[in-house]
């Protein structure tokens, strides 16, 4: 039976890949994780979304238009 490899060994091997292949590996791992989300994490995100929606509906927070957020981000990133 083949020995089970440690994550640290797999990561070190992945670091040896050319940049494009590392990027492809990362994208595939993220896509696979998205297909099989952890139910506890999914519930936590749902709870957080509902909490934030309630804050908006109750007037506790004020939404910022996307254009303003994008402009601020461009300024921060030096891409005015």
What pLDDT, in 10s, does the model give residues 50-76? 999 999 999 999 999 999 999 999 999
What 3-state DSSP class applies to 43?
A: helix
In a domain, residue 43? The reply is yes
In a domain, residue 35? The reply is yes
Element at 74 (helix H, strand E): helix 66-76
Do residues 20 and 12 make contact, with C-beta atoms less than 8 angstroms apart? no
In a domain, residue 36? The reply is yes
The domain of 25 spans: 7-76
CA distances from 63 to 9, 55, 56, 58 (A): 45, 10, 7, 12
In a domain, residue 18? The reply is yes
In a domain, residue 1? The reply is no
Cα–Cα distance measured from residue 80 to residue 70, given in angstroms and rounded to the nearest whole number: 10
Torsion from C-alpha of 41, 44, 49, 51, nearest 10 degrees: -170
- State how many domains the chain has: 1
The pLDDT value recorded for residue 67 is 96
In a domain, residue 16? The reply is yes
In a domain, residue 54? The reply is yes
The pTM of the full predicted model, rounded to 2 decimals, is 0.53
In a domain, residue 2? The reply is no
């Amino acid at each position: 039976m083949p020995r089970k490899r440690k994550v640290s060994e797999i990561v070190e091997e992945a670091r040896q890949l050319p940049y494009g292949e590392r990027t492809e590996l990362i994208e595939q791992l993220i896509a696979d994780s998205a297909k099989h989300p952890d139910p506890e994490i999914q519930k936590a995100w749902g709870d957080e979304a509902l909490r934030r929606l309630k804050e908006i509906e109750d007037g506790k927070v004020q939404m910022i238009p996307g254009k303003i957020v994008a402009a601020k981000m461009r300024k921060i990133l030096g891409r005015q």
